[in-house]
């Protein structure tokens, strides 16, 4: 292979696991705290109003074939009841592969105390995989790359629980319980003697955060995301965000043994929030890219009686 193709394949092997027996991991987000429904379906409806979030992530900018992710989600309580409904669509690209996820979400919330609420969420949907081998250049014929993969379908079923007050939250979720094998030895595009197989394994997410009022104008929110998947290192994101005057949010994060991040957000209006995130790699991969970027926007459709006295920090 030429150097460009080798880098793409290494990304696939190390970052996603499309062509190996290693577990495939879900897309990661630095600004997950503003896109929580993509991590935990029990979050649906928890903001009390219709909430729509769009996010784009460009990972390892400057590296050919690096991951790019776009996601859009919407969720709302149903007629101000205990039921929440949501929809999430994610498109994840890396090298020659494109994966698209469509998820419908439902949640149910019970009051555990005057301020505490416990929500249970379920999601179901579909996963489509496409691989275009023409984007790779092989010096010699490769029997594993003779036929493209077009819209390979796999079902998705996930669940989560989410507890929150106006100052604290804790959630546990598994976005997909179903193990999906993308290839097997009967596939015409795979050499029958090959033992390589790609599958998606359970991703376990734990999220928690706390909001502290430092004074009348400044709030501090430490947050943690932990992700565990068999065959991959433990991922832990530790984030510290500060909100100033209910408008400006500044933060920093550390992804264990992977990256440092900076975050900035602004509450443009009562209904619109925008955010930007940047990751700088702490691994040797930093020699080959210019970091990772995220931009997101959240719109909330509120009626007059829905107007929050202060913006929600989570």
61, 291 in Cβ contact below 8 A?
Answer: yes
Q: What is the pLDDT of residue 217?
A: 95
pLDDT band at 200 (very low <50, low <70, confident <90, very high): low
pLDDT band at 277 (very low <50, low <70, confident <90, very high): very high
196, 20 in Cβ contact below 8 A?
Answer: yes
Write the pLDDT tens digit of every residue in 98-121. 999 999 999 999 999 988 999 999
Q: What is the pLDDT of residue 22?
A: 37
> Above 60 in pLDDT, residue 17?
no
12, 95 in Cβ contact below 8 A?
Answer: yes
Neighbours of 290 (CB within 10 A): 14
> Above 70 in pLDDT, residue 228?
yes
Neighbours of 117 (CB within 10 A): 17
Q: What is the pLDDT of residue 138?
A: 61
Cα gap 172→150, rounded to integer Å:
33
Instruction: Count each helix (H run) and each strand (E run) in the chain, helices first.
Output: 1, 18
> Buried b vs exposed e over 146-167: b needs ≥16 C-beta within 10 Å?
eeebeeeebebebbbbbbbeee
- Which range (5-9, 22-26, 214-218, 220-224) has the least confidence? 5-9
Q: What is the pLDDT of residue 140?
A: 61
Write the pLDDT tens digit of every residue in 49-62. 999 999 999 999 98
> Above 90 in pLDDT, residue 314?
no
Full-model pTM: 0.82
> Above 60 in pLDDT, residue 6?
no
Write the pLDDT tens digit of every residue in 116-167. 999 999 999 999 999 887 777 666 655 555 678 888 898 999 999 999 998 9
Residue-range domains of the chain with CATH: 3-306 (2.40.160.40)
Of the chain, the percentage scoring pLDDT greater than 90 comes to 55
């Amino acid at each position: 292979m030429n150097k460009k193709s080798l880098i793409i394949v290494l990304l696939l092997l190390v970052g996603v696991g499309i062509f190996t027996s290693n577990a495939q991991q879900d897309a990661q987000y630095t600004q997950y705290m503003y896109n929580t429904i993509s991590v935990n379906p029990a979050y649906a409806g928890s903001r009390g109003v219709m909430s729509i979030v769009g996010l784009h992530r460009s990972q390892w900018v400057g590296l050919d074939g690096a991951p790019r992710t776009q996601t859009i989600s919407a969720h709302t309580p149903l007629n101000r009841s205990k039921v929440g409904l949501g929809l999430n669509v994610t498109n994840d690209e890396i090298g020659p592969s494109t994966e698209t996820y469509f998820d419908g979400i439902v949640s149910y919330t019970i009051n555990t105390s005057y301020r505490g609420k416990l929500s249970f969420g379920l999601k179901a949907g579909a996963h489509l995989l496409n691989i275009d081998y023409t984007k790779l250049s092989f010096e010699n014929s490769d029997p594993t790359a003779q036929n493209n993969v077009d819209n390979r379908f796999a079902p998705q079923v996930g669940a989560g629980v989410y507890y929150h007050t106006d100052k604290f939250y804790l959630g546990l979720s598994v976005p997909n319980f179903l193990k999906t094998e993308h290839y097997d030895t009967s596939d015409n595009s795979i050499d029958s003697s090959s033992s390589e197989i790609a599958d998606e394994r359970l991703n376990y997410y734990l999220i928690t955060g706390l909001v502290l009022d430092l004074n009348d104008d400044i709030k501090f929110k430490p947050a943690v995301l932990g992700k565990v998947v068999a065959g991959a290192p433990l991922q832990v994101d530790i984030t510290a965000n500060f909100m100033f005057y209910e408008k400006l949010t500044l933060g920093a994060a550390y992804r264990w043994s992977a990256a440092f991040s900076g975050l900035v957000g602004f509450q443009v209006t009562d209904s619109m929030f925008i955010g930007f995130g940047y990751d700088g790699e702490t691994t040797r991969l930093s020699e080959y890219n210019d970091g990772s970027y995220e931009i997101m926007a959240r719109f909330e459709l509120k009626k007059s009686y829905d107007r929050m006295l202060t913006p929600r920090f989570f």
